Structure 1
Amino acid sequence: MECRHFGRCGSCRWYEEGYEGQLTKKAEEIKALFAPLYTGAFDIARSAPEGYRARAEFKVWHVGDTMHFAMNSIDREGVVLLEECPMVTAPIQALMWPLLDALNAAPGMGRKLFGMDFLAGRDGDIAVSMLYHRKLDDTWKAQAAELATKFGISIIGRSRKQKEVIGRDHVIESVDVAERTYRFKQIENSFTQPNPGVNAQMIGWALQQFEGLGGDLLELYCGAGNFTIPFASRFDRVLATEISKSSIHAAKTNMELNDVHNIDFVRMSAEEFVQALDGVREFNRMKGIDLPSYRLDTIFVDPPRAGMDEASCDFAARHEHILYISCNPETLKRDLEYLTRTHRIEAMAMFDQFPYTHHMEMGVKLKKAAQ
C-alpha cells in the first residue's frame, strides 16, 4: 500500500518494508512468543495489502471554515489532516471525500461535528455515524436526509443522550465461507470484524478445526453471531452467550437471515452461564432451554483483549475440545499457560486483521490430554 501520510499518521505504524516485510516480522515475533508452549506450524491468514478496512473512525478537524478528516499523528503531538486513506475499502474511499465536500457546503451542518465513523458492507451498503457536541434539531435532520438520499447511504447523528437515524442504523454484510454466502446485520457503534477478507479466513480456519467433532457446541462471547452462524453447520446444536442486548438481538436476526435454526442465543455473561449450568442460580433468560440435554464436549471462546480470568479458564478446561480466538497474543499466552495444564495445543493460526500495525489476532485449537 502506498500512502502519502506514512510516517506521520498514527494509524499505520509499520510500513518501511511494505506488507510482506511487516507480516514476516510479526510472524517471527508471534512464533518467538509462543515457542515455550508450541513449536508446530502456524497457519497465516493474509490481508489484502490495501482497501481492507470496512469499519473506520476519523476525527473531523476544523481549520477556519473548512472541515478535514484527521488522525492522531504517529508521535501523538497533534493530528494529521488526511488527503487519502487507502486502508479503507473502495466503497468508503469513494464516499468519504465527496461527502466531506457536501458537508462543507451545507450551512451549519458541520457546526460542532467532531468525528465520523464509516461502516460498509461488501456490496456498498454504508452507514455513516456523525458525532456532535451539540443537540441535533429538525434543520439537521432535513439536511442529513438530503445527504442520505444524494449518496444512497444511512446517516446516524449522535450527540449527548441523542441518536437520530436517517435510514438504518446498520448494514447488511455478506461473507463467503466454505462455499456458502452468509449474511449479517452489523450495527453501527457496536463491534464488528473490521477486515472482512481476514474475517472470512478466520471463520474458515475455525470450521476446519471442528471437522469430525459432532455433538453440540458451547460458545461464549458470541457477539452478533459472526462465528456462531457458520458453526451451526458443524454441530447438532449451538448454545451461545453474550452480555450485550443489542448484539443478541442482531444475532437472532442473523440466524433468521441465514435460515439457521439450531442455535440458542442467551443474553448473559460467561460467569452467569457457569452459574446456570452448575445449578448455582436460576435465570429467567434460560427458560425454555433444556441444558441437561446438551452434549457440550466442545467450547469456542472469543474474549475481549483482557482474555479470560482463571475461573473462565477452569470452566473451559472442563471440555474435551477448546477453540480460542484471541485479539491479544499476550493475554492468550497467559491463558494458554493455564489451559495447557490439562490440554495440548493441536493447531495455531495468525490472522493479520490490522496490517501495518503490531497487532495480530490468533487462533488456537486444544484437546484434553490423556490422563
Structure 2
Amino acid sequence: MTNENNALAKGSTIEIEIESLAFGGQGIARHEGLTIFVDNAVPGQVLRCEITKLKKRFAFAKRLEVITPSKEEATPFCEHFGICGGCLHQDIAYGSQIYWKGRQVSDTLARIGKITKDTEGMGQDTIGSPLQTGYRNRMDFSFQGYGKELSVGFKKRGSETEVVSVSSCPLLPESCRNIPALVEEYCTKSEFGTFRHGKGGYWRKLVVRVSHDSGKIMIHVITAPSKTHSPIKGLEELLFAKIPNLKTFAHSTRIGRPDIASGERLISLTGEPFITETLKKSDGGSVSYKISPNAFFQTNSSGAEVLFQRCLDIASPAATDVVYDLFCGSGGIGMFMASNVKKVIGFEISKETVLSARENAKLNGIENSQYITANLSNEGEVPTELPKPDIIVLDPPRSGVPAPTLERILSLAPEKIVYVSCNPSTLARDAERLEEKYTLTKFSSVDMFPHTAHIECIALLTRHSKS
C-alpha cells in the first residue's frame, strides 16, 4: 500500500516484510528495488511503515503497525524496553539474535575484507552468552536534572542527551539492581544538580560493578569538582546500610566534557581498594583479576570465560611460544594464555594499567609475564632485548589497530595473530591491510552483549608460507 499518487516519497506509507537485520540492529526490507531500513523491527514481520528519508538506492522508514507478527518475536522482560536506549533486541528470541549477529559479521568480513566463506568458522552461528539476563558485571548510569526532576538512568533511545529514569536493570545481577533507585531518591533531596543541568552542576556518573565470582559490589560515583563534597558522605552511608555485599565505595571527580564514566581524580575510597573476578579455564585452571574503580574489564564475566578460552583454542600455542599481548589492559587474554606458553609480554600506553597488570600477574603467581608501558609502533619505547613473538594478540578499541602498529607487526612477522574485535568493519579492514603476509584462516564470534547490537569477533591470521 502506498500514498494516493502511488509514488514513493518522504511521508509515503508502505507494507513491507522484514527479511533480515543489518549490523547495528535495523531491520532490512526490499521495496520496488530499494533497500528499506526500519528501526524496532523483527525479521519475519510484515509492517506498515512511513518513509522518513529517501535516497536513490535506499530509504529509512518508521514502523507504524505490525500487520503480521514474526515467529522470531519474544516478549520483552524489562519495563523500560523501547524507551531506554540500552537494549535493542529484547523483542527477538535469543536464538534468533545470535543467528543474525553471526550472519552480519560474516557478511561484513566478506564485503569489506574479501574473506571467503570457506574460512573455518565463517557462516557458523555466534557462540551465545551463558547468561542472557544478570550477565553484566558493570553498568554505567547517567544523571540528568535537578531536585525532584533529577533522573538516574540511561540515555533515551535515539537521544544523545535525554536520560530515562531506570529504577533497576535486569542485565545486572539481582543483588545490585535497586542501586540506581536508591541513588536517585537520595540525589533528588541533595539540592545539587547534575553536570548537564548547567552552571554549578555536580552529579555526573554512577558506576556499579559486581564480581560474579565473589558477589562483592563496588560503587563508583563521579562528580564535577567542588569546594565541598557534602552530599557524598551521606550517599556512601546510605548505600553501605542498604546494599549487603557493598565492599567498595569510590568518589572521583571529572572536569573533561566527554560524557564517559571514568574519574580523573580520586577523592576518596572507602572499603576494599578493588574487587576480584575469577575466570575458569577448560583445563581446570583459573585466572583472577583485580578490578579497581577505573580499570577496564570485559563487562560479561561468564562471556569473558568463553571469549578468552576461544582465543586460546584458536591460537593453539606451543609451550615454547612467546606471546605479545597488545592493548593488554590489566592482563586480560594474555594472562589467560600464560600457563600454556613460554612467555607473555603485554604492552599498554597507560602506566596505571600496566601496574594493574603486574599486580594481577603477582596475584596469580604468573612468573613468565612482563608488562611494559609502551606503544609497540614506537621502537624507541620497546626494550631491544625482548624475544621475538611467535603469536601476537590484538584486542584494540572499536577504531581498530593504528596503521603504524600494523606496520610494526608486519616487520616482527609472528607466525600467528589472534585479533579480537568488537567492530567487524575495522577487523575486516585491518585483515586486508595485513594480507601481504597473513591469511585469515579461522574465525569465531561470541555474544558478549545479549539483547544489544554488539558482538565480539575472534580471527586467527596465519603467516603465508612464502613469507
TM-score by length of 2: 0.70
Which among 393, 404, 407 is matched to residue 300 of structure 1? Answer: 393
Which among 269, 272, 292 is matched to residue 187 of structure 1? Answer: 292
Paired position in structure 2 for 1:211:
316
Distance in structure 2 (CA, Å) of the matches to 1:145 and 1:229:
34
Deviation at 1:15, TM superposition (A): 3.1
Distance in structure 1 (CA, Å) of the matches to 2:310 and 2:153:
36
Whether the 8 Å contact between 2:141 and 2:153 is mirrored in structure 1 is: yes
Which among 324, 336, 356 is matched to residue 230 of structure 1? Answer: 336
Whether the 8 Å contact between 1:211 and 1:234 is mirrored in structure 2 is: no
Q: Which amino acid aligns with 2:268?
A: E
Paired position in structure 2 for 1:314:
407
Paired position in structure 2 for 1:156:
250
Paired position in structure 1 for 2:276:
172
The structure with more helix, counted as a fraction of residues? 1
SS of the equivalent of 1:332 reads: helix
SS of the equivalent of 2:405 reads: helix
Whether the 8 Å contact between 1:51 and 1:86 is mirrored in structure 2 is: yes
Which among 236, 239, 245 is matched to residue 345 of structure 2? Answer: 239
Paired position in structure 2 for 1:31:
106
Deviation at 1:65, TM superposition (A): 3.1
Structure 1 stretches lacking a partner, 5+ long? 276-280
Deviation at 1:71, TM superposition (A): 1.4
Distance in structure 1 (CA, Å) of the matches to 2:393 and 2:295:
21
Paired position in structure 2 for 1:346:
441
Which among 369, 385, 404 is matched to residue 263 of structure 1? Answer: 369
Which among 154, 169, 173 is matched to residue 71 of structure 1? Answer: 154
Distance in structure 2 (CA, Å) of the matches to 1:325 and 1:174:
20
Deviation at 1:326, TM superposition (A): 1.1
Distance in structure 2 (CA, Å) of the matches to 1:85 and 1:69:
12
Distance in structure 1 (CA, Å) of the matches to 2:399 and 2:225:
34
Whether the 8 Å contact between 2:423 and 2:455 is mirrored in structure 1 is: yes
Paired position in structure 2 for 1:113:
203
Distance in structure 1 (CA, Å) of the matches to 2:415 and 2:180:
48
Note if 1:18 corresponds to 2:62: no
TM-score by length of 1: 0.87
Q: Which amino acid aligns with 1:311?
A: P
Q: Which amino acid aligns with 1:300?
A: V
Deviations 1:230-275 (A, max 9, x none): 2111111111111111111110110011111000111111222xx1
Q: Residues 290, 81 of structure 1: CA spacing in aligned structure 2 closer, same or farther, 3 A cutoff?
A: same
Distance in structure 1 (CA, Å) of the matches to 2:442 and 2:425:
18
Percent pairwise identity: 22
Deviation at 1:363, TM superposition (A): 0.5
Deviation at 1:100, TM superposition (A): 4.6
Note if 1:332 corresponds to 2:427: yes
Q: Which amino acid aligns with 1:157?
A: H
Note if 1:248 corresponds to 2:354: yes
Paired position in structure 2 for 1:278:
none
SS of the equivalent of 1:65 reads: helix
Deviations 1:176-231 (A, max 9, x none): 12222221011222322111121111110111123353321112111100112121
Whether the 8 Å contact between 1:313 and 1:339 is mirrored in structure 2 is: yes
Whether the 8 Å contact between 1:344 and 1:366 is mirrored in structure 2 is: yes
Paired position in structure 2 for 1:56:
139
Deviation at 1:357, TM superposition (A): 2.2
Runs of 4+ aligned residues of structure 1 deviating over 6 Å after TM superposition are none
Structure 2 stretches lacking a partner, 5+ long? 1-75, 195-201, 256-264
Note if 1:46 corresponds to 2:121: no
Distance in structure 1 (CA, Å) of the matches to 2:227 and 2:235:
10
Deviations 1:296-340 (A, max 9, x none): 221111111111133322332311111111121111100011222
* Matched positions, count: 357
Q: Residues 148, 357 of structure 1: CA spacing in aligned structure 2 closer, same or farther, 3 A cutoff?
A: closer
Deviation at 1:96, TM superposition (A): 4.0
Deviations 1:11-47 (A, max 9, x none): 1123332322222221111111123313132463312
Q: Residues 78, 342 of structure 1: CA spacing in aligned structure 2 closer, same or farther, 3 A cutoff?
A: same
Q: Which amino acid aligns with 2:285?
A: R
Deviation at 1:167, TM superposition (A): 2.2
Q: Which amino acid aligns with 2:390?
A: D
Deviations 1:129-158 (A, max 9, x none): 112235264744643552354233321122
The structure whose Rg is larger is: 2
Q: Which amino acid aligns with 1:308?
A: V
Q: Residues 99, 124 of structure 1: CA spacing in aligned structure 2 closer, same or farther, 3 A cutoff?
A: farther
SS of the equivalent of 2:453 reads: coil
Distance in structure 1 (CA, Å) of the matches to 2:364 and 2:372:
18
Whether the 8 Å contact between 1:58 and 1:116 is mirrored in structure 2 is: yes
